[in-house]
Amino acid sequence: MKLLEHEAKEIFRAFGMPMPPGGVARTPEEAKKRAEEVGKPVVVKAQVLAGKRGKAGGVKFADTPDEAASHAKEILAMRINDLPVEAVLIEEKLDIQQEIYAGVTVDRNERKYVMIGSGAGGMSIEELAEESPEKIIKRHVDPSLGFQPWEAREMAIAMGFKGKAINRLGSFFMRLWNIVSKYDVELSEINPLILTKDGRFLAADARLNIDDNALFRHKDIIERIQRAPTEQNERELKATAEGMAYVELDGDIACICNGAGLTMATLDVVNLYGGKASTFLDLGGGSDKERVEKGIEIALMYDKVKAILVNIMGGITRCDDVANGIISARDDKGIDVPMVIRMVGTNEKEGQEILTKAGIPFMKTMEEAASKVVELVKEAA
């Protein structure tokens, strides 16, 4: 379960973690009131379970309460990553000397938690790892001992801090670890953790993901947040309702398959031939005509899709049913992007005959299909 920033900060505050003064608002009038309570220039931040809020226009600065209300009105009308913004967080605008990254997650290879810190915060840890890996400091946590204060101070020193800042930053890492260990956290981040010009460390952001399997131990959190613990957009909700596995990616080729392994392999082969997938859509076993049609319909709802690759391994799923579903989708939905089909297995020949009569070409191998769909996308560019 992923918590919104203001929900995570409630927990952070209970553990004594310093953060900017402010509060949550769900209307422009509340935003104005929160800004008046702060009494200084503020930042207005969209509360939504989506990354890159700033780039989407979901983070704005305001010098006056009226300006904060105006920004809140604009942000509350937005959708970020197709998710509605139902609240904003109003906090004091900080006088920043340095942005820092602090986080903890599970290293499944080591089967341990790993504490992560960097003196170069404000950007995603993935980008930082790629561009400047030497700036990332990691410490694996001994599961029998937990994270120790001396390890926290070691991390602060390795991140380039000196003097009193070592203990102050070390205490941040210890508080973060205490939260993680109490609430069965899978991932927590403070990015950025701010060092102000007057020497204070403040959590300017907060991310907290709790292991779903441990929620029975933390019913107080579910009761406190009073909302459905979901970050799914309309397309994801529809796929979930249909029992399909659906993941959106950054490419432009929708991959529709049956079976998670086949879908992953299809994504890899598309990438091998120079393309990028927009959609991981696993129809599941026993996919009939209606399910195939529904899967194509959901995939086409994503505006990044420029082509569709259907790759089916027929077992319980019959290829003739799949073919009929593809034809129905084409005729009913008015599909205006190219489709490439590859089907093998049960009733393979019957399915191929149906596609041939309908004028829909098919490929014999996954490699041919991936190469063809990438070629069609490039031709249309």
Whether 320 contacts 346, CB under 8 Å: no
CA–CA separation, 243 and 39 (whole Å): 50
Residue 125 Cα distances to 131, 146, 161, 194, 245, angstroms: 10, 23, 19, 16, 27
Phi, psi of 57 (to 5 degrees): 90, 15
Backbone angles phi, psi at 357, to 5 degrees: -65, -30
How crowded is residue 187: how many other Cβ atoms within 10 Å of its Cβ?
15
302 is catalytic: no
Q: Which of 15, 25, 21, 71 is nearest to 47 (CA)?
A: 25
Q: Which of 5, 67, 91, 101 is catalytic?
A: 101
Q: Omega before 41 cis (within 30°)?
A: no
Q: Catalytic annotation on 189? A: yes
Q: Spell 253-264 as b/e; 16+ CB within 10 A means b.
A: bbbbbbbeebbe
In terms of Cα–Cα distance, which of 116, 167, 166 is closest to 141?
Answer: 116
One of 189, 236, 293, 348 is an active-site residue; which one?
Answer: 189
**Torsion sign, CA atoms 241, 246, 248, 254:** negative
Query: What residue type is 213 in one-letter code?
Result: N
Report the amino acid identity of residue 5: E
Tell me if residue 273 falls in helix, strand or coil.
coil
- Positions annotated as catalytic residues are 101, 189
